[in-house]
Amino acid sequence: AQSVAQPEDQVNVAEGNPLTVKCTYSVSGNPYLFWYVQYPNRGLQFLLKYITGDNLVKGSYGFEAEFNKSQTSFHLKKPSALVSDSALYFCAVRDTNAGKSTFGDGTTLTVKP
Amino acid sequence: DAGVIQSPRHEVTEMGQEVTLRCKPISGHNSLFWYRQTMMRGLELLIYFNNNVPIDDSGMPEDRFSAKMPNASFSTLKIQPSEPRDSAVYFCASSLQTGLGYTFGSGTRLTVV
């Protein structure tokens, strides 16, 4: 079985400050990990993925995520938040033996000026 | 590529009517997913296809829901008869292989009155 948890429903940060959106996962095999962003009235957009290799993955819009196998985490980070980063963020995981991804419940990020 | 194309963007219908949602995946993608998103339940996977074959329909809420994928470039999600509790945003997504990053459509906002 595979599962993913986003422990925070909401994250609030000030513009220019670093942001972190947390994600932990559980799989029986090796994980494929993903982050997606959803802006209001839009579909989800792919941000970045970890398949194998370097634990630090860089994605779109200056976002990055670090795969930590011992902590089973894949937190999303950005060094300096923008107001335009305000959106709903989803973490997703797929076990290499599974046929589909499992999505978290989402975290609403609000960046205030 | 124009991305995943869903139609209609908005649908308002009366309770008891049949509703058909349509999806054109990205050319060459061999996996297609139907999701439903509501405030109460978040993002739910309804069904997914691999190479036009339904693989997992365990998320389809009731027999009133049915999905087809007659060919690699087209899928439908049908609700018959529709009920007010079916009101949600329905997303279609496709991927090149099951489990790698998904590309989502813009969604169909369904309102059943």
CA distance A46 to A63: 11
Write the pLDDT tens digit of every residue in B12-60.
999 999 999 999 999 999 999 999 999 888 899 999 999 999 999 999 9
Cβ contact A100–B107 (<8 Å)? no
Min Cα separation A105/chain B (Å): 6
**Interface with chain B: mutation pick from A30, A39, A93, A100, highest number of B CBs within 10 Å:** A100
pLDDT for res B100: 74
The beta-carbon neighbor of A100 closest among B42, B48, B101 is B48
The beta-carbon neighbor of A100 closest among B99, B105, B106 is B99
Evaluate whether B105 touches B93 at the Cβ level (below 8 Å).
Answer: yes
Q: Is the pLDDT of residue B3 over 60?
A: yes
Residues of B whose CB is below 8 A from A49: 100-101
CA distance A51 to A34: 9
Cβ contact A44–B98 (<8 Å)? no
